[in-house]
Amino acid sequence: MEIYIGYVFFILLQVCFIAQLYFLFFVQRKFTFFSPNSNNNLGDKPAVSVIICARNEANNLKEYLPFVLEQNYPNFEVIVVNDCSYDRSEEVLRDFELKYPHLKVVKIEEHPRFKTAKKFAATLGIKAAKNEILLFTDADCKPASENWIDLMVANYNNPEVEIVLGFSPYNKYRGFLNALIRYETFQTALNYLSFAISGMPYMGVGRNLSYKKSLFFKGKGFASHMHITSGDDDLFVNQNATKNNTVIEINNNTFTNSEPKRTWLKYWKQKTRHVSASKMYKREHRFKLTLQALSALGFYSFFILSLIFKVAFEAVLAVFVLRFACQLFVFYKPMEKLKNKDLLWWFLILDPFYYIYLIALNIAGIFIKKTIWK
């Protein structure tokens, strides 16, 4: 009886392996052949409104905001929404306003009876913007170059484009937590960028995202998911992006580098907030992402179970090695493009841990109903 159970596990291992090959070669592999936009000097340079929502970000604003304000672009404004901050943010922003006339500050006062979420701050920032092209980042993000705005906005030379998805990596530090955070960020980016190339854009990240103001109001903003704290970025993209109106931008000079969480608890809180938004993705997106995650987790689970039941050891090991080789083959170029090639050394440990952590987050998300602004 045990040997039959063992063969069942081996068959399920192969099923999961085939599912993984689909995502590797028919989705993620497309990113390898994608070339960044090279027409950034063509056409007019439209006016741009950069929007940053900040709550208690005085130190980050002081350190990183100048890199946004001093971009090499002829016509842009920067809107910082100071959302109920009780640190020195107001003082820092007041000093910047004296130096930079293209900085506009929108202040939200604390209400005694209810707390505002980031979507409310983002909506006020969008309403305050005087330009059609909106570009979003966070207070703790630093553009990789002074041409960030120029290169991101160049994609609007195509009149059909309404959304531009960028990439925002986390800064590199020592330790396993930092490696996991950067690997999760790489996997997430590889997915949403590859699916966008495949004609099925399903999310973006607010640390580096652009869309048109008219699209925001045409899609009624965040109205359909205002009751969820997170999702000002990914849910908006999920509901408004199409294969024709969405492009990606991965030129290294358009990256916005961000500070990662330094403790497991803070990282856990951050990720559970994001999980709450993914529940509202379109059904097709939820199905494919769930299949991808479950087939990966199933692969590792059935691999271990097949070894325990001692069934076709050589064949089981061969399947595992083949998948590992396929992942390295597919991931190598994207890791190089997204400046994460050092993670290849951690790959064999990070990949199974990443999927276990992902499932744990989704299970926790079932029971977690309330999340925080950030």
Q: Which residue has the tokens 């704290």?
A: 229
Q: At residue 116, does pLDDT exceed 80?
A: no
Q: Are 295 and 16 in contact (CB under 8 A)?
A: yes
Q: Are 207 and 138 in contact (CB under 8 A)?
A: yes
Q: What's the mean pLDDT when you consider all of the chain?
A: 90
pLDDT tens readout for residues 307-334: 998 888 999 999 999 999 999 999 999 9
Residue 232, pLDDT score:
79
Q: At residue 192, does pLDDT exceed 90?
A: yes
Q: Are 72 and 99 in contact (CB under 8 A)?
A: no
Q: At residue 215, does pLDDT exceed 70?
A: yes
Q: At residue 40, does pLDDT exceed 70?
A: no
Angle at 257 between CA 255 and CA 260, to 5 degrees: 145
Nearest to residue 222, comparing CAs of 314, 125, 326? Answer: 125
Compute the average pLDDT of residues 70-83: 96
Q: What percent of the chain has pLDDT over 70?
A: 92
Alpha-carbon distance 356 to 328, whole Å? 20
Please enumerate in sequence order all residues whose Cβ is within 8 A of that of 65, keeping only pairs 6 or more positions apart, or say none: 52, 78, 80, 96, 139
pLDDT tens readout for residues 22-33: 999 999 999 998
Report the topology of domain 48-183+201-262: Spore Coat Polysaccharide Biosynthesis Protein SpsA; Chain A (3.90.550)
Residue 112, pLDDT score:
57
Nearest to residue 205, comparing CAs of 304, 293, 267, 278? Answer: 278
pLDDT tens readout for residues 254-284: 999 999 998 988 888 887 766 667 778 999 9
Alpha-carbon distance 333 to 344, whole Å? 11
Compute the average pLDDT of residues 160-180: 96
Residue 110, pLDDT score:
75
Please enumerate in sequence order all residues whose Cβ is within 8 A of that of 8, keeping only pairs 6 or more positions apart, or say none: none
> Helices 58-69 & 89-99, crossing angle to 10 degrees?
20
Domain with CATH 3.90.550.10 in the chain: 48-183+201-262
Q: Are 213 and 240 in contact (CB under 8 A)?
A: no
Which of 106-115, 146-155, 215-224 shows the highest mean pLDDT? Answer: 146-155
Residue 334, pLDDT score:
96
Q: Are 133 and 48 in contact (CB under 8 A)?
A: yes
Q: How confident is the model at residue 230 (pLDDT cuts 50, 70, 90)?
A: confident
Q: At residue 73, does pLDDT exceed 80?
A: yes
- Worst-scoring range by mean pLDDT, 33-47, 64-78, 167-181, 282-296? 33-47
Compute the average pLDDT of residues 152-171: 96
Q: At residue 193, does pLDDT exceed 90?
A: yes
